[in-house]
Structure 1
Amino acid sequence: MSSVLDDVPHHERVAHTNGLPPIGLWWPMLERPLRREVLENVHAPLRAVVVRRIYELCELDPGHAPQLGVRLGENERAYIAGWMHSVDWN
């Protein structure tokens, strides 16, 4: 099972209330320094540079990215918690 859908039109990728594409598309590709920044406080608003990078990773126009007050939703925080749990297995 995959969290990434094939051939999803770009305009349908941004469907969440916070304006971000589905986290399964961008979180695996997000660079470590930006990931660490998000992990420091998953409830804090994301910096504009992080949001722009998310849009770039999803091949969306970063000029249309929301600028201020973008926060991860409950489902996105749950995704990250599951991801952290899975990478902690040794």
Structure 2
Amino acid sequence: MKTSPTPENVRAALREIERRGKENSIDPGAVARDLVGSDPDAWGKLMKPLRAVFLQMARDGEVELLRKGKPVAPEDLHGVYRLRVVELRSRT
């Protein structure tokens, strides 16, 4: 695994994805691929731990979780979702 899904690494990946293009929302799989590469086995295994990081980031107000294009509370998230970056805090 190239990089683990720590909040700091996820923030860096989100910044990089935002830098490459101005999309309204980001596919969580794109973040996983940015962290570990394009091998489906590698990024697929990362999706569950990455979801936990996204949920915490949503609770902290750094990202919005979107379902069918509409914001959803972290506790109500299920199924397919996307992310919208709100604020990426750098914590030390």
* Same-fold call, TM cutoff 0.5: no
TM range (shorter): 0.3 to 0.5
Q: Which has the larger radius of gyration?
A: 1
Task: Give me the TM-score of the superposition, normalised by structure 1.
Answer: 0.38
Task: Give me the TM-score of the superposition, normalised by structure 2.
Answer: 0.37
